[in-house]
Structure 1
Amino acid sequence: MTAHTALIDRYFDIWNETDSRRRQVLIEKTWASDATYVDPLLSAQAHDGIDAMIRAVHERFPHHTFRRTTAVDGFADRLRFSWELSTPDGVSIVKGSDFGQVDADGRLRAVTGFLDEAPGVA
């Protein structure tokens, strides 16, 4: 497993973690302190903002899970991967692709997400 793959697998552990204390520990390990996240629906800055954003997604989609659907492709400090959000019954309801930048310490500096398939998205 590459360092980028391990990093992104932790990224998904964060998205799926419902315990706020464990999620905060994972965020600190995975994201740079001044990191940013942006997609067509959400944006966040720094650890507290990322945690609040993920908490809001958990409130909107209780018991849903995110998973990586492709290998992590990367070079230098850049990476990309695709994912899906599934219902508790395992039905995929949203698919997307994310592009990231990693800092010198191997933590996420920035993630930009795109929705590839979502209800109401043509």
Structure 2
Amino acid sequence: MSTHTQLIDQYFDAWNETDAPRRRALIAATWTDDCAYVDPLLAGNGHDGIDAMIRAVHERFPGHTFRRASDVDGFANNVRFSWCLETPDGTPIVKGSDFGVVEAGGRLSTVTGFLDQVPGAA
């Protein structure tokens, strides 16, 4: 397993963690202090912003989980991967692709997300 794959799997661990102290520890291990995330629906800056964003997703979609849906592809400090948000019974309801930049220390500095499939979209 590549270092980038391990990092992105840890990224999903943070997204799926409902225990606030454990989630904060995962965020700190995964993201740089001055990190930024943006997609068409969400944005977060710094560890506090990332934590607030993930907490809001858990509040809106209780019991749902994110799963990596592709291999992690990348070169140099760039990564890309696809994912899905699944209901508690494992049904994917949202699919997307993320592009990230990994800083020299091995943590994510930015992630830009794209929504590939959302409910009700044609």
Please, what TM-score do these two structures have when normalized by structure 2? 0.98
Match of 1:18 in 2: 18
CA distance in 1: counterparts of 2:39 and 2:120, whole angstroms: 16
CA distance in 1: counterparts of 2:119 and 2:47, whole angstroms: 29
3-state SS in 2 of match to 1:74: strand
CA distance in 1: counterparts of 2:99 and 2:48, whole angstroms: 21
> Which amino acid is the alignment partner of residue 91 of structure 2?
V
Which blocks of at least 5 consecutive residues in structure 2 are unaligned? none
Deviation at 1:50, TM superposition (A): 0.2
Match of 2:4 in 1: 4
CA distance in 2: counterparts of 1:119 and 1:34, whole angstroms: 32
The answer to whether 1:37 aligns with 2:37 is yes
3-state SS in 2 of match to 1:6: helix
CA distance in 1: counterparts of 2:76 and 2:113, whole angstroms: 19
CA distance in 2: counterparts of 1:30 and 1:86, whole angstroms: 22
Match of 2:71 in 1: 71
Match of 1:58 in 2: 58
CA distance in 2: counterparts of 1:70 and 1:84, whole angstroms: 10
Aligned residues: 122
Moved over 4 A (4+): none
CA distance in 1: counterparts of 2:79 and 2:15, whole angstroms: 18
Match of 2:120 in 1: 120
Match of 1:105 in 2: 105
CA distance in 2: counterparts of 1:75 and 1:46, whole angstroms: 24
Q: CA RMSD in A?
A: 0.6
CA distance in 2: counterparts of 1:7 and 1:68, whole angstroms: 12
> Which amino acid is the alignment partner of residue 88 of structure 2?
P
Q: Percentage identity across aligned positions?
A: 69
Q: Deviations over 1:69-101 (max 9, x none)?
A: 100001001000000000001111000000000
Deviation at 1:121, TM superposition (A): 2.8
Please, what TM-score do these two structures have when normalized by structure 1? 0.98
